[in-house]
Amino acid sequence: MKKDKCEKAGQFGMCPYVTAQQLLSGKWAILILHVLADGPKRFNQIQKEIDITQATLTTHLKNLESEGLLTRLVYPEVPLRVEYSLTEIGREFAPVLKSIEVWGNQYIRYLREKNGAGR
């Protein structure tokens, strides 16, 4: 369900699962938050770490910024320097990222055992 539909249905901002799902929609949001969890990064650093196109990264960064999960700091220098970092509420996502890492590693082990690669 789209954010505007969730808001109209009274679910976005009310149901924690719908709210989190909408904020983290798209296949790149969690990876971007993971990269920024280590500290502020410049655009090119983020792009290289997750191998994402410039247009897609720009879109996701704008969305995450508009939702208050990250900030964009522009330094008045030549050449222009821009850094992205997690906001306080964005940093609150760190334990969730850690849980995703733990579960992801468990699932990878499961797949290896299931496919016989764990032997």
Lowest model confidence (mean pLDDT) among 4-13, 28-37, 101-110: 4-13
How far is 59 from 67, CA to CA, in rounded Å? 12
pLDDT at 11: 76
How far is 119 from 117, CA to CA, in rounded Å? 6
How far is 58 from 14, CA to CA, in rounded Å? 28
Convert the pLDDT of each residue in 27-80 to its tens digit. Answer: 899 999 999 999 999 999 999 999 999 999 999 999 999 999 999 999 998 988
Return the axis-axis angle of helices 94-114 and 29-36, rounded to nearest 10°: 120
